[in-house]
Amino acid sequence: MKFLWAMLFTTFCVVAALVYTKLKKARRRSKDARSNGLYIISNPENAKFVIVAVHGLGTHPERTWEALPPRSRDSTEKTQPVHLLRHILKEDFPEARILMHAHNSDWMINAPVKTARQIGEQLIAELTEHLSKHSVWTT
DSSP-assigned letters across all residues of 106-121: --SSS--S--HHHHHH
What domain range is 22 assigned to? 1-28
Distance of CA 26 to the CA centre of its chain: 14
Does one domain contain both 3 and 55? no
Phi-psi group of 23: left, alpha or beta (phi > 0 → left; psi -120 to 50 → alpha; rest → beta): alpha
Total count of domains within the chain:
2
Q: Are residues 37 and 96 in the same domain?
A: yes
In a shared domain, residues 112 and 61: yes
User: Are residue 14 and residue 36 in the same domain, yes or no?
Assistant: no
**Residue 29: per-residue pLDDT:** 56
> Does 88 lie in the same domain as 23?
no
Contact (CB, 8 A) for 53 and 98: yes
pLDDT values of the chain reduced to their tens digit, one per residue, 139 residues: 788 888 888 998 888 888 887 777 666 655 555 678 899 999 998 889 999 999 988 788 888 899 988 877 777 788 889 999 999 999 999 999 999 999 887 766 666 677 889 889 999 999 999 888 877 665 5
Q: Is the pTM of this model over 0.75?
A: no
Tell me which H or E stretch contains 28: helix 2-31
Q: Same domain, yes or no, for 92 and 106? A: yes
Predicted pLDDT of residue 32: 56
pLDDT for position 72: 74
Residue 105, pLDDT score = 79
75 within domain boundaries = no
Q: Within this chain, do residues 2 and 62 fall inside the same structural domain, yes or no? A: no
Claim to verify: residue 89 and residue 101 sit in the same structural domain: yes
Task: Give the pLDDT score at 76.
Answer: 76
Domain assignment present for 2: yes
